Amino acid sequence: MTKRLGCAKNGSDAILAHPFFKGMKWDVVFERRIKPTFLPKVSQDAFDTSAFDHYDEDTSKMEALAEDEETQFDAFTTVF
Per-residue pLDDT reduced to its tens digit, 18-72:
999 999 999 999 999 988 888 888 888 888 888 889 999 889 988 888 988 888 8
Give 14's contacts (C-beta < 8 A, 6+ positions apart): 5, 6, 8
The answer to whether residue 78 sits within a structural domain is no
pTM: 0.42
State how far the Cα of 79 lies from the Cα of 66, in Å rounded to an integer. 20
Boundaries of domain holding 14:
1-36
Radius of gyration of the chain measured on its C-alpha atoms: 21
The answer to whether residue 56 sits within a structural domain is no
The number of folded domains in the chain is 1
The answer to whether residue 7 sits within a structural domain is yes
The answer to whether residue 44 sits within a structural domain is no
Rounded to 5°, the CA angle 75-59-67 comes to 25
Instruction: Please tell me the predicted confidence (pLDDT) of residue 1.
Output: 56
The answer to whether residue 25 sits within a structural domain is yes
The answer to whether residue 74 sits within a structural domain is no
Instruction: Please tell me the predicted confidence (pLDDT) of residue 19.
Output: 94
The answer to whether residue 43 sits within a structural domain is no
State how far the Cα of 13 lies from the Cα of 7, in Å rounded to an integer. 10
